Structure 1
């Protein structure tokens, strides 16, 4: 009987991993589609990344509600709602291309953005079905699903982007709808999960006091900066490469390897965190984000794009997983819905601002300026982390 909870937890984890693997395949496709479809339908080149910005902003608005829904009704209900929303968003975007409607394209990306925000909670669900000591490993391995997405997503884009010719990209959006529905199937085997916190519903000053606890606030800041800098450089990459004369296929391949770099280290990141600690891993991530910005600012060749985006992906992996592990180990079960919702809302806010700024900068001052602008943010964040570590050592 003692082995029964472990077995049930393993089955739940496998179901979550399979669902996340399928559903996450939409993400690299949307990196490519957001700017290209936006450029095709937008009234101005400066608005090319506006659908992607709407997508991220919708995620900002959806993160808190999804966390509360999961806290009340359970993880599985929330993930199923996200998958259905993504399927609807893909259909809306395909119809927008048929009708030539920029507004409908933005609406479809809003639905997709909300769904992607929902998928972020897979990493927290993973931590909840394993013993606490193994939470960093569970979080890290859950993100390996993105490795499959890194190869499958861009390839699916290539296969389907002209499926409804002469209407470009509509077939790819329909493919997103199909995989979103397919991703719901593994969730039917997930029986273990329960509401994450039927408990505390903090509001006002009590809630603020929880969020301002030093460990929680630091973890949220590290995750937000890692995500913000990554999105700031990643979102406009296809546009920058096409502006430099590269083909859509090469731009897609750069994104493919960027996404590989985002998720391939996840096989090891959790074990590294167990050995040297989450803060050290976050520090390594910030260093790699700085390397990515320096390489991007140094030139516009294919090699510069590949190296920069690969370093960007690995830096995000270390920073984001390290920050998530920091947060998971400091949050009481009764505060999970509140803190996780606030954390992902702040992350989405940073990503929204970064995406909007990236579109304006890459079509204005240009890619080199954009890359250089990332460096002060990374440097300031590294100083904050160094101060926190020094303070913790002094207190210890």
Structure 2
């Protein structure tokens, strides 16, 4: 079995382990803040700092991959996850809000490396098969959508200090990831990459129309998803729906984000990466339209499900477009900059959505979707005409 084939089997499992930690932080971060008597204005600070940690770690993650190789970088990041879980868990036991926030921020470093698994799996894989490979990693995300919440259920009250067990379990997930990642195989990436790598400045990449278009599609797909998803549970409860109904809506949304990964790669191979990306953006716009039709539970759930499917098509498609838009020797820089821009917007969007919802309404928040999607689609259309 080739090194690439071995890695294609390992990365989805690594994704399932690595992507299980964010649901723990996102679902429990605010509750832990309350239990630690944090100031009311800072209740969402642990989740914000996690997202900020992801954004700030994307470029360092790309640097580590280039300097030390993927295996060494990913093993180190998994060790940081073990440390983050220990810091967060023990801070709950010791009633320290500041140290708890430090733990979630550290977890962002690991999450930034996990995000790059979708690029790593394409190494050594034929161009026409890369979309399918990326989809396999995202299937690992589907498993994580089940594992993460179940870890919370199993460990929430495991220790006398409520929630401490859930965050200490992050360390266990990190240890399991370390065991798995030791099995990764080196993959030859072509003569240019071996002869010294790229000297390309990161921002110079944005002058490449194909790369800029792919990044814009990824930023819009992920940014809008996080922007709407963060506010959705608050909006549902504020309009008379039960908390468990809001939670169920988010669960269906997360499943819709990853379930299409079973066939997204095949669709990209048949219809093209750009076309599937555009369909994803249109589905996100359609989710906003459904949200504007009413405030019944079916409107919220229908909107969230379409938002999840749209994210899957848009984000996986944009990831594949980024992978093909630059030569091999520039990929680590290109991928790092792409993720830095995406998760910077995600961090800002998750913070701003609550402010916008509180100052305006759920309907106004969804209106933001349409001009944003139109801008991304317009850029894709312009680039297609320019290159034809």
Q: Give the TM-score taking structure 1 as reference length.
A: 0.89
| Larger displacement relative to structure 2 (42-51 or 257-266) | 42-51
SS in 2 for 1:148: helix
Q: How far apart are the structure 2 equivalents of 1:279 and 1:31? A: 31
Show CA shifts across 1:24-48 (max 9, x none): 2223333322344345547444433
2:183 paired residue number = 189
Partner Cα separation in structure 1 for residue 213 and residue 28 of structure 2: 34
User: Contact 2:52–2:108 (CA<8 Å) still a contact in 1?
Assistant: yes
- CA offset at residue 243 of structure 1? 4.5
- In structure 2, the residue corresponding to 1:72 is in which secondary structure? helix
Gaps of 5+ in 2: none
- CA distance, structure 2, for counterparts of residue 240 and residue 91 of structure 1: 34
Q: Residue deviations 1:260-293, cap 9 Å, x none?
A: 1111111111111111111111111111111222
Residue 250 of structure 1: how far off its partner (Å): 4.2
Cα distance in 2 for partners of 1:102, 1:349 equals 24
Cα distance in 2 between the residues matched to 1:200 and 1:16: 24
Residue equivalent to 1:161 = 156
Q: Is the 8 A contact 2:82 2:170 kept in 1?
A: yes
Q: CA deviation at 1:353?
A: 1.3
Shift in alpha-carbon separation, 1:94–1:314, aligned structure 2, 3 A: same
Q: Distance in 1 between matches of 2:290 and 2:68?
A: 46
Q: Does 1:30 align with 2:25?
A: yes
How far, CA to CA, are the matches of 2:44 and 2:293 in structure 1?
24
Q: Note if contact 2:3-2:187 (Cα within 8 Å) is conserved in structure 1.
A: no
Q: Paired residue for 2:71, among 72, 76, 80?
A: 76
CA deviation digits over 1:303-353, x for unaligned, max 9? 333222211111111111111111111211111121111111111111111
Taking a change above 3 Å as real, the CA distance of residues 333 and 116 of structure 1, as seen in their structure-2 partners, is: same
**Change beyond 3 A, Cα 1:137–1:32:** same
**Would the alpha carbon gap of residues 117 and 246 (structure 1) be closer, same or farther in structure 2, given more than 3 Å must change?**
farther
Contact 2:124–2:188 at 8 Å: present in 1 too?
Answer: no
Report the TM-score when normalising by structure 2. Answer: 0.90
Of 156-165 and 73-82, deviating more is 156-165
Q: Partner residue of 2:213?
A: 218
Q: Could you tell me which residue of structure 2 aligns to residue 295 of structure 1? A: 290
Instruction: Identify if the C-alpha distance between structure 1 residues 243 and 194 changes in structure 2 by more than 3 Å, giving closer, same or farther.
Output: farther
Q: Contact 1:75 / 1:195 at 8 angstroms: preserved in 2?
A: no
1:154 and 1:255 map into 2 onto residues whose CA distance is: 12
Structure 1 unpaired stretches of 5+: 1-5
- The whole-number CA distance in structure 1 between the counterparts of 2:189 and 2:49 is 30
For residues 213-292 of structure 1, what are the structure 2 equivalents within 5 Å?
213-244=208-239, 249-292=244-287
1:202 equivalent in structure 2: 199
Shift of 1:240: 4.0
